[in-house]
Chain A
Amino acid sequence: MRIEMRGVEKNFDGVPVLKGIDFSGDVTTLAVIGPSGGGKSTLLRILGGLLQPTAGEILLDGEEVPHDEQGLVRYRSSLGFVFQDGGLFHHLSARENVALPLRAVHGMGEDEARLRADELLRRFGLGEEADKYPAQLSGGQRQRVAIARAVAPRPKMLLLDEPTSALDPEYTCEVLDLLRSLKDEGTRFIAVTHEMGFARRACDEVAFLCGGRLVEHGPSERVFADPRTPELQHFLGRLLEWSA
């Protein structure tokens, strides 16, 4: 999918978080990495139509992201979003979390939505968990339900905001495994992540965001093997210090 960003800026109460992002490229799987507070999540929310940029424009496949609420509702429904804490609806079972948006937003019938939900949950190893509520699931299971909900309507692209940063290491693996298998099936996604191994091996491209600017961007192998900017070299160097 072709993504173009021109001069995207975002201020929160006058404090600049994004200071002019320019980007142009065909995105299949993209990892957004960088230090905390660098504007990664903000950029992802703007891309997902959840936040309005202060300035600049974004085009997906040549179409501008709408500015009016009505257009944004339609735009958001064409994407799949996964949050750090999953954002599951507490009062609905795993199955209903997946099926409700299919019925309410995508106009699917009762049976069709339930079949689709059950099929995805089974594929994601959650066949036994369909009737459980979010509070009865482990962190990793919750996150897999959230991914099932996001991919169920076959979105143009998945947007994942630190999908594993709230998880224990064992759960992190099960979620990353799932994302890789989705990628192998051709699902496109943009993931804000702190998992450098995932960014390097499971994402085709990496974008490095630092201090509200897009500092470096390229194929992931190249970015990790040969970081060109001093900021990225410093960032990766700091991480390597503690890696095994």
Chain B
Amino acid sequence: MRNPLLADADGRARPIQAAVWYLVVIVLVVLFFWASLAMVGVALDFSFVARFQVRILDGLLLTLAISAGSLVLSLVIGLPVAVGQGSRVLPVRYLCDLYVKLVRGTPLLAQIYLFFYVVGTAWGVENRLVAGIVILSVFSGAYIAEIVRGSLSSLDAGQLEAARAVGFTRAQTMRYVVVPQLVSRTLPALTGQFASIVKDSSLLSVIAVVELTQTMREISATTFNLFGTYLFLAGLYLCLTLPIMFVSRAFERRLTYAH
């Protein structure tokens, strides 16, 4: 009889074993929060959901729209920056490098305030939604650049030489060798990055973009139901991010030929 607590020697768990233990862990976590709520004497009340369902749905849709827009725009920013970091033209290389370092080294909250109130005001960007998507994309683009740069540098020279040797043109080498391998190496991480964008978009509430978090803040301000709204808010974000993480894991499993 195997120890029911342990995965097998390869690190895998049987399906039933996995289901049971996952359930146990979830129950324990829920109990912990339940106990904490009971100790501070909070009674949860979700009656606001029905009352504000239209606004909540609008906020959720806006969060999705911001995230999707930012994903596309941050790819548009991140891909050239990843290539630019390896450029032989030094100003380009250092510009890309500085961008990545500044963005990754400062909090998103500071970037949102600085961009919106200083850069945005100076250059006449008044639309909060547009500004929000741009700021989030600039932020996320730096992380995407790092993800892509990592995979670019792991493409080994041997395969590129082999591609020339079999008679591929430069365009064919890109199409048949570089792009497929980059996609399979970066897709799991890029999907994970999308989950981060969804969460990070909540910070746009500070410039009054009425996405999901801002909607909930407004609701909690009128109902004084702080715990109920924020718990519900966290649950909604999990509904968005958990499937994305699941997809990311699935990509990871499907694309692991290289190991």
Contact = CB atoms under 8 A, between A and B. Distances in A.
A113 interface: no
B155 to A, nearest CB: 9
Given A83-B158, A104-B172, A104-B176, A90 B164 contact: no
A83 B161 contact: yes
B169 A149 contact: no
A73 interface: yes
B153 to A, nearest CB: 15
Interface string B127-161: 00000000000000000000000000000001101
Interface residues of B, number: 21
B166 A77 contact: yes
Interface in A205-242: none
Nearest to B256: A135
A41 to B, nearest CB: 11
Max chain A C-beta neighbours (<10 A), residue from B161, B163, B184: B161
Contacts of A149: 166
23 contacts: A50-B161, A50-B165, A76-B167, A77-B166, A79-B165, A81-B162, A83-B165, A87-B159, A87-B165, A89-B159, A89-B162, A89-B177, A91-B177, A91-B180, A91-B181, A91-B184, A91-B257, A104-B168, A105-B166, A105-B167, A135-B257, A135-B258, A135-B259
A50 B164 contact: yes
B166 A90 contact: no
B161 A87 contact: yes
Contacts of A90: 159, 181, 257-258
A85 B158 contact: yes
Interface residues of A, number: 26
A88 interface: yes
Given A101-B168, A104-B168, A105-B167, A83 B180 contact: no
Interface of A: 48, 50, 69, 73-74, 76-79, 81, 83, 85-91, 100-101, 104-106, 133, 135, 149
A191 to B, nearest CB: 15
Contacts of A133: 257
A86 B161 CA distance: 11
A201 to B, nearest CB: 27
Contacts of A104: 168, 172, 176
Contacts of B257: 90-91, 133, 135
A132 to B, nearest CB: 10
Max chain A C-beta neighbours (<10 A), residue from B158, B167, B258: B167
B166 A101 contact: yes
Contacts of B167: 73-74, 76-78, 101, 105-106
A85 B160 CA distance: 13
Max chain A C-beta neighbours (<10 A), residue from B172, B184, B257: B257
A162 to B, nearest CB: 13
Max chain B C-beta neighbours (<10 A), residue from A79, A89, A91, A135: A91
